[in-house]
Structure 1
Amino acid sequence: MAPLTTFDIDWASWLGTLVALLVGIAAVAALVITVRFIANRVRGRSAWIGDLERRIRVPGMTLAFLIAGWIACAVTAPSTLSWWEVLDRILLICVVLVGAWLLSTLVTFGVERLMQYDSARDDSGPEARRRQTQLTVLNRLVIVLISIIAIGVVLFSFPEVRAIGTSILASAGVVSIVAGLAAQSTLGNLIAGVQIAFTNAIRVGDVVVVEGEWGRIGEINLSYVVVYIWDERRLILPCTYFTSQPVESWTRKSDKILGTVLMDLDWRVPVDAVREKFMEIIEASDAWDRRSANVLVTGSEGGYVTVRFKISAANSDDQWDLRCLVREKIITWLQQEHPEALPVTRVTLESPE
C-alpha cells in the first residue's frame, strides 16, 4: 500500500498568505450567508431583524473582511517584510474607522426603533415629543462621541502624535483656556443643545412664536434649532437663543388652546343676536372641541365697542381655522342682517350762530 501524502504549508511563504486569505474569505462568506439565512427565516415574525441585517450588511462585511485580511497577513509572509509596519498601521486605521461606522449604525437603528415604538402607539402629545427630542439629540451626541473616540484612537496609534499629546497634556491648563476662549460660541451652543433636549424647554413638533414668526420646531441639532414657519420658510437659530431669549410656546403642556377674535363694532350692535349666531357657527364646525366659547363686550372706547369671541380647539391648526371661520361668518352675517352694527364714523356739524 502506498503511503498517504501530506502537504505541509509554509505559512511564512506567499503561498501560505494566499491560503490564509482564502480561508479568511471563506469564513467571512460562511458567516454572512448564515446571518442572512437566519434573518430571512425570522423576518416574517420580526421585521426589524431584516431591517437591522440590511443596515449593518455593508459595514459588517467590510469590517469582517478587514479583520480576516489583517490576521492572514499578520501570521504569514507580509509580517516579515520591511513595509509590514506601514500596512499594519493602515489596517488598524481601517478597522477602527469601519468599526466606528458599524457602531454608529447600530446606535442609530436602536434610537429609530424606540421612536417607531412611540409612533406605533399614536402618541403625539407633549411627552411623546419630549422623548423624540431627547432621543434625537442623544443619538447625534453619541455618534459625535464615537467619531471623536475613533479619530483619537487613529491619531494616538502614531508614536509621534502620542509624544505631542503628552506635551499638550503637560500644559493642559493653558491649552484649555485658549481653546475655551476660541470656541466659546461653539461650546456654548453644544451645551445649550444638550440642555434643551433634557430640560424639556422645547421639543420637536412644538408650536412656537419666535422672532414674531409662528411655526413648529422641526429639528433640534447639537448647535442649532430649525423652526418650520407656516409659509414653508425655515428659521434657523442657535441653541443658545432658546436658553437666553423668551419663546412663546403654544404646546408646552397640551396641544389644546384658546383663541380670540376681536371686532370693533358700532354701539348699535345686537349683542344677544351676535352671541346666538356665534354659537350656531361654532357648533356646526368640527374644529371646535366644545371646551369653551363665549362672546363678551370687552371695550367701549374711541366711538366703538370691542366684541371678543373666545373659542377653544384641540390644537393650534384647528384654532386658526376656527378663528378665520368665525370672523368670516360674523362679518357676512352682520352685512346682511345688521348693517347698522358695522363701524361708522360720526361727524356732528354745528351751525354758526
Structure 2
Amino acid sequence: MRTVLVIAAAIAAGSLVGWLLGVVIGIAARGRYRWLLMPTYRACRRLTILILVLVALFFTVQYTDLPNDWLPHARNALRVMFFLALAGLLVKALRVAETAVLRGLPTYSTDPKVRQARFKIRLLRRLGGAVVPVLAIGWALTTVDALRAFGISLLTSAGVLGVIVGLAARNTLGNVLAGTQVALAHLMQEGDVIVVNDEWGRVEDVNLTHIVVRMWDERRLTVPTTYFTERPFQNWTRHDARVRSEVAVHLDFTADMEDLRREAHRLLEANPLWDRSDNKWELQMIDVTPQTVVVQVRAWAADSPSAWNLACEMREGLTTFVRDHHPQWLPRTRSEYHP
C-alpha cells in the first residue's frame, strides 16, 4: 500500500510542478519570446512531467515497501529512464527550435544568405538529434556499476571486434564527416545549382551521408557526401542565385559582329527571362575553326530553368535572324578549282 501511495504522490508532485512551470512559461511568453516558448512547452510538456515524476520517485523510492536489496536496482532503472527521457526532451526541443526559426525565413528565396541559414539550421538539428541520444545512453550506462564494468571489460577484451566494426563503418563515418565538412566550409546548400558528372542540377536535399540533386530532366541523383570532398565540382550559385546562360553559334567568316550584337541586345530586351538587375551580357568571338567562327552570347537569368529557356530562345532567335536577313553568314565550305 505504501508503494502505491509513494508512486501516486510522485505523479501528483510531478504533475503539479509541471503545471506551475506551464503557468510561469505562459506568463513569460507574453513578451517577445512567445514564438519560441509556447511551441516548446506544448511539445515538451509530457516529457517534462515524466522527468519530474522520475526525479520524485528517485528521491522517494526508499519510502516504499520494496526490499532493501531491490532499492539500488530501482534507483538504477529510474536513473537510466531519466537520462533517456532527458535525451528525448532535448531532441524535441531541437525540433521545435528548428521549426520556429525556419518559420521566420522565406521558404523559397534566391538570397544565398537565407538558403545558407536554412541549411545550417537543419544540419545542426540533425547533428544534435544524432549525438544527443548516443551521449544519453552512454552516460546512463556509466551510472550503473554492473553495466560500467561490463562495458570496460568489453572494450578491453574485444579490440579485434572494435577494429572490425570500425572498418565496417568507415564509409558511413566518412560520409558523416564529409557532410559536416560540406556544411562548415559552405560548399553548397539546398537550392544551389551544381554540375555533377558533366550534368547540371539543383541541390534538393542535403543529409549527413548523402546529397540529392534534382537534375535538369527531373531525375534525382543521390550522391555520397564524400564525392564532394574528394572530387572537384562546379557550384554556379554559391555567392549569387543567378545562373549564366550561354549560347554558341557557328557562322561564316563574313559575319558582322556589330550587327550580331545589336540583334542579340534586341532579343534580350524583348525576353522576360533575362535578369536586368545589372544589364550584364556579352557577345564575343570565342573560337575559329577552318570553316567557321564561333560566336557566343552570355547573359544572366534568375535561376537554372530560366537560364535554359533563355539559351534556347536566344539560339532560335539568332538562327532565325541569320537565315532571314543574312543567309550569306551561314557556314560554308570553300574550295579552289585549278584546271
Match of 2:266 in 1: 280
Contact 2:203/2:211 (CA < 8 Å) preserved in 1? Answer: yes
- After TM superposition, the score normalised by the length of structure 2 is 0.81
* Separation of aligned partners in 1, 2:214 and 2:156: 47
Q: For each residue in 1:288-311, what CA deviation from the matched residue of structure 2 results, as whole angstroms up to 9, or x when unmatched?
A: 334432333333424233222222
- The amino acid across from 1:292 in the alignment is K
| 2:9 is the counterpart of 1:20 | yes
Alignment of 1:248-267 (within 5 A): 248-267=234-253
Query: 2:280 aligns to what SS in structure 1?
Result: strand
Task: Pick closer, same or farther for the CA change 1:63–1:181 going to 2, 3 Å.
Answer: same
Residue matched to 1:99: 86
Equivalent-residue separation in structure 1 for 2:107 and 2:279 (angstroms): 25
Alpha-carbon distance change, 316 to 163 in structure 1, aligned in 2, over 3 angstroms: same
Give the aligned partner of residue 34 of structure 2: 46
CA spacing shift, 1:144–1:92, aligned 2, 3 Å = same
Structure-2 change in CA distance of 1:86 and 1:172 (3 Å): closer
Contact 1:32/1:61 (<8 A) preserved: no
Residue 110 of structure 1 aligns with an amino acid whose one-letter code is A
What does residue 34 of structure 1 align with?
Answer: 23
Q: Is the 8 A contact 1:205 1:217 kept in 2?
A: yes
Change in 2 beyond 3 A, CA 1:97/1:167: same
- Pairing 1:203–2:155 present: no
What residue number does 1:239 align with? 225
- Normalized against structure 1, the TM-score is what? 0.78
Q: CA deviation at 1:214?
A: 1.2
CA shift for structure 1 position 257: 4.5
Check 1:238–1:343 CA distance in 2 against 1; reply closer, same or farther (3 A cut): same
**After superposition, where does 1:114-263 map in structure 2 within 5 Å?**
114-117=101-104, 119=105, 124-170=110-156, 177-263=163-249
In the alignment, structure 1 segments of 5+ residues that lack a partner are 1-11
Residues 1:114 and 1:67: Cα distance change in structure 2 (over 3 Å): same
Hey, what's the Cα distance between the residues in 2 that align with 1:292 and 1:346?
Answer: 37
C-alpha distance in 2, partners of 1:137/1:33? 30
Instruction: Indicate which of 281, 295, 306 corresponds to 2:294.
Output: 306
| Contact 2:7–2:57 (8 Å) recurs in 1 | no
Please list, as runs of the form range in 1=range in 2, the aligned pairs for 1:300-339 lying within 5 A after superposition: 300-339=288-327
Q: Could you tell me how far apart the structure 2 residues matched to 1:265 and 1:44 are?
A: 65
CA 1:327 to 1:77, structure 2 compared with 1: closer, same or farther past 3 Å?
same
Deviates more, 1:84-93 or 1:294-303: 84-93
Cα distance between partner residues in 2 of 1:242 and 1:170 = 37
- Determine helix, strand or coil for the equivalent of 1:79: coil
In structure 1, C-alpha distance between the alignment counterparts of 2:56 and 2:159, rounded to whole Å: 43
Residue 158 of structure 1: how far off its partner (Å): 4.4
Q: Residue 246 of structure 2 aligns to a residue in which SS?
A: strand
Shift of 1:147: 1.0
Q: Does 1:62 align with 2:50?
A: yes
How far apart are 1:242 and its partner, in Å? 0.9
Distance 1:44 1:256 in 2: 36
Rounded to whole Å, the distance in 1 between the matches of 2:72 and 2:329 is 93
Q: How far does residue 107 in structure 1 lie from its aligned partner after superposition? A: 2.7
Q: Distance in 1 between matches of 2:328 and 2:55?
A: 88
- Deviation of 1:33 after TM superposition, in Å, equals 5.5
CA contact (8 A) 1:17 1:77 kept: yes
CA RMSD of aligned residues (A): 3.7
Q: Residue 265 of structure 1 contacts residue 343 of structure 1 at CA under 8 Å; is this kept in 2?
A: yes
What residue identity is the alignment partner of 2:275?
W
Name the counterpart of 2:97. Answer: 110
Paired-residue identity, %: 29
After superposition, the C-alpha distances for 1:161-189 in whole angstroms (9 at most, x for unaligned) are 32222224546976665544333222222
Aligned to 1:76: 63
Distance across 2 between alignment mates of 1:50 and 1:249 = 40
Task: For residue 227 of structure 1, report the CA deviation from its aligned partner.
Answer: 1.9
Q: Give the drift of 1:145.
A: 1.7
Q: 1:101 to 1:22 in 2, by over 3 A?
A: closer
| CA–CA separation in structure 2 for the residues paired with 1:58 and 1:21 | 15
Q: Which 10-residue stretch deviates more, 326-335 or 166-175?
A: 166-175
